[in-house]
Amino acid sequence: MSDGLIARVARTLREPVPVSQGFDRRLSERLAGAANARERRLVRRAGLAVAALLAFLALQLGPVSSPAVRPVELVIDLPEAGSVTVVGDFNDWDRSRTRLERVAHSSRWRTTLRLGEGLYRYAFLVDGEQWFPDPGRPSAADPDFGGQVSVLAVE
Partner 1 sequence: MALLVVVLALPTRGVAQDPRLAARLDPSTARRVDSLVQLNARAGLPGEPLVQIALEGHSKGATGERIVAAVEALGAGMARSRDLLGPGSSSAELVAGAMWLRSGGAPADLSEFRTAGGRRSLALPLSVAADLLKLGWPSDEAGTAMRSLLEARVADADLVAFSKRLDQLGKPSARTADALRQEVVRMTAGQAVRP
Binding site for partner 1 (CB under 8 A): 2-3, 49, 53, 56-57, 60, 62, 87-89, 92-95, 117-119, 121, 131, 135-141, 143-146, 148-149, 151, 153, 155
Q: Of the two residues 60 and 65, which places its CB atom closer to partner 1 in the complex? A: 60
Cβ at position 38, least distance to partner 1 in Å: 20
Residues 126-135, buried b or exposed e (16+ Cβ, 10 A)?
beeeeebbbe
Q: Nearer Cβ to partner 1, position 78 or 149?
A: 149
Pairwise CA distance, residues 147 & 27, whole Å: 67
Nearer to partner 1, 31 or 119 (CB): 119
Q: How far is CA 67 from CA 15, 33, 39, 118, 147, in A?
A: 19, 47, 45, 11, 32
Question: Rounded to whole angstroms, how far apart are CA atoms 55 and 78?
Answer: 53
Least distance CB 89 / partner 1 (angstroms): 5
